[in-house]
Structure 1
Amino acid sequence: MNTTSPQKPKVKICGIRDLQTAQVCKEEGADYIGLNFAPSSPRNISVSDAQKIVELIRSQNGSPEIVFLFYKNSPEEIQSIRSILDHDLVQWIWDDPKLTSVNREELLGPRQICSYRISAPVSNKDLQFLPGEFLILDSDSREAGGGTGKIFNWDFISGIERRFLLAGGLNPENVISAIQAVKPFGVDVASGVESSPGIKDISKIIQFIRNAKSAL
């Protein structure tokens, strides 16, 4: 009989832009926080504000790990930000046109998370070529790098064995049912814990993390 307790889902809160929100994420047990450097995103963060958040997180032991998100950033900008700011992982979008002709491993580093947009059923074979420690499976939106607030058909990813974070339209109200239905490695949220685009709602973040961690 296997008496091992099931692992609690990992939680990533993306688009953090201020110290208070970062501190709440840490106190509530978020596993990852995302700092979004995509120039067109309402969650875009400046290098100076990102530095303050990095210093706060690094001044305390333990999680969360710091994830830098790039989408349609120039390779030069990515290289510059990565060289200036301490971080754990780099998240990038599979179809980012700025990254089609570069050495991604050299530019993005050894610890990567590849975000892949789902618009049709996918198999393990379809995803085997994607690099990274784990994937983020998100709704399909060509205008943005994520944070659209749209749910995709979870049946499209049934049977996927690789570790992934489920993203796309999650919020405190539906995250438990999403985890129970999909059984992902973890969940990723941006707009679902906001009061308006780019403005995080502390109470929603707290409820999201607590609900996700309780969804076994």
Structure 2
Amino acid sequence: MIVKYCGITKEEEIQHLQQLPIDYVGFVFYKKSKRYVEKEQARRLRAKLKPSIPSVGVFVEEEIPKILELLQEGIIQGVQLHGEEEEAYVLKLKQEMEKLGTKPFLWQAFILKEEKDIERANASHADLILLDGGKGEGKEAEAGLLQKIHRPYILAGGLSPENVVEKIKAFSPYGLDVSSGIEEQGEDGVRKSPEKMQSFIRLVRGYEREIL
């Protein structure tokens, strides 16, 4: 099961998480997010991250040239769309990404609220879809709607060390994406908790070993 720790903003967070058996790190390039990072900040974070962990840029209806620039400069290795991007946009971005030659991947997130969201998610041309209950607010996706998805997906929204095993058992997702569930309040504001980061992945990998 793939695991992505998203909303990374600090070098000390990189230092802790890259000692753990996670698969991806997410940098948020959406200015309205409290986890927003600027390009140069993301470059510094990427430089501290070991090459074996790909970084994913999270975007909300961003201009395609800006996304391609981050890919070309090696700041990110993959793209996650988290807005209301139309299929024409997804296809155009995918086409442009394929020209880069570095085999970047494209994920598309869907906030499940009603039936049309299920239809869009099942039909997406993205390499992989992510299912959420909000845009970084820690809201859980509607269980009844999750059951109607007919392709592999990454589960996001409201995940934490307290409920992650329960969610895996209930939905058998292809992957997990966590942000607020591994955070704590620090002196300098909200930050990723080393203890929660370690606990989350320990529970996930422990459950995987149990069922093998």
For normalisation by structure 1, the TM-score amounts to 0.80
TM-fit CA distance, 1:34:
0.3
Residue correspondences, number: 199
Partner SS state of residue 114, structure 1: strand
In 2, are the aligned partners of 1:124 and 1:162 still within 8 Å (CA)?
no
> 1:129, 1:152 → 2: CA distance?
18
* Residue 111 (str. 1) matches residue 111 (str. 2): no
In 1, are the aligned partners of 2:8 and 2:14 still within 8 Å (CA)?
yes
Note closer, same or farther for the CA distance 1:29–1:107 as it changes in structure 2 (3 Å cut): same
1:180 to 169, 181, 185: 169
Aligned to 2:139: 150
TM-fit CA distance, 1:195:
1.7
CA RMSD of aligned residues (A): 2.6
Aligned to 2:24: 32
Aligned to 2:2: 10
> 2:65, 2:195 → 1: CA distance?
37
Residue type at the aligned position of 2:164 = V
In 1, are the aligned partners of 2:182 and 2:192 still within 8 Å (CA)?
yes
Partner SS state of residue 103, structure 1: helix
* Residue 138 (str. 1) matches residue 132 (str. 2): yes
TM-fit CA distance, 1:61:
5.2
Structure 1 stretches lacking a partner, 5+ long: 1-8
> 1:40, 1:124 → 2: CA distance?
26
Higher relative contact order (CA 8 A, sep 6+): 1
In 2, are the aligned partners of 1:22 and 1:53 still within 8 Å (CA)?
yes
Residue type at the aligned position of 2:15 = Q
In 2, are the aligned partners of 1:78 and 1:107 still within 8 Å (CA)?
no
Aligned to 1:5: none
1:70 to 59, 62, 85: 59
* Residue 170 (str. 1) matches residue 159 (str. 2): yes
TM-fit CA distance, 1:125:
5.9
Residue range with higher mean Cα deviation, 189-198 or 177-186: 189-198
Residue type at the aligned position of 2:155 = L
> 1:162, 1:131 → 2: CA distance?
12
Note closer, same or farther for the CA distance 1:101–1:19 as it changes in structure 2 (3 Å cut): closer
Structure 2 stretches lacking a partner, 5+ long: 99-103
> 2:137, 2:7 → 1: CA distance?
12
> 2:96, 2:34 → 1: CA distance?
24
Residue type at the aligned position of 2:174 = F
> 1:123, 1:147 → 2: CA distance?
18
> 2:191, 2:107 → 1: CA distance?
24
Identity of aligned residues (%): 25
For normalisation by structure 2, the TM-score amounts to 0.81
Structure with greater proportional helix content = 2
